[in-house]
Amino acid sequence: MYHTLEEVQKEFGPRIAAKALEMEAIKLSPGNPFQWASGYRMPIYNDNRRLLADTQARALIAQGFAAVVETLEIPFDTIAGTATAGIPHATTLADRLGKPLCYVRSSGKDHGLKNLIEGLGSDGSFHSQRVLLIEDLVSTGGSSVKAVQAIRDADGLVSYCLAIFTYGLEASVQSFAVLEPQCRPIALLDYDTMVATALATGYVDGNGADLLGQWRVDPFGWGAANGFPPVAK
């Protein structure tokens, strides 16, 4: 039994970070950064889908989410996962807690009923049910906030968005800040804990950890400042 959210994150964050680094769900390369789709060179690449291959990793994440729900006494009636990476973890959690499940598409289908949310009744409404949103990664927060709004448009009440990992970017803080009523984002693993775990396990050295810390402060200026200008798209 945990008494605070911080205790939950301290217990599960380093364990998830170690597993993610081991399985290359999180890859770090501050000396030879990755090129993201935007063209920017970044020292981190995240692919939480790799965690699906390991039963212990999936169980650890579900256990962490359940601990957050229990510790904060979050009231909810149903669980929604974000498509696609949030769906399996929402499913595992829903099975663990014995709750209904649905998922939120990034956009509505262009055929059939053109659903944006799958798993609702024929009228497409939550009927004021309390919905717990499950996300895999919060980067800028844009897609998560879009999912929150989709749930609210379908008469769902959503006050919490639980994620496996967050970069902790200011952009995500601003994205969630515009929501009214507020929806609180909570991640089991944050960026600083991930870097500390990478350093402790020898994945990166002190210089690498420093470079990763600099990226956290200025992610879109980091590459050019370190000799890795963005690639024109």
**pLDDT per residue as tens digits for the range 161-186:** 999 999 999 999 999 999 999 999 99
Number of residues in the chain:
233
Number of helices (H), then strands (E), in the chain: 8, 10
Residues 115-143 have pLDDT tens digits of 799 999 999 999 999 999 999 999 999 99
Q: 168 in a domain, yes or no?
A: yes
Q: Determine the structural domain holding residue 59 and report its residue range.
A: 5-225
106 — pLDDT class (breaks 50, 70, 90): confident
231 part of a folded domain? no
Q: Decide if 230 is inside a domain.
A: no
54 within domain boundaries: yes
pLDDT, one tens digit per residue, over 55-81 is 999 999 999 999 999 999 999 999 999
**pLDDT band at residue 112 under the 50/70/90 scheme:** very low
Domain count for the chain: 1
Q: How far apart are CA 195 and CA 180, in angstroms?
A: 33
The DSSP letter of residue 121 is -
Whether 209 has a pLDDT exceeding 80, the answer reads yes
* pLDDT at 19 exceeding the cut of 90: yes
Question: Using CA atoms, how far apart are residues 44 and 35, in angstroms rounded to an integer?
Answer: 9
Cα dihedral 108, 109, 113, 118 sign: negative
pTM: 0.95
Q: What CATH number is given to the structural domain containing 101?
A: 3.40.50.2020
Whether 85 is covered by a domain: the verdict is yes
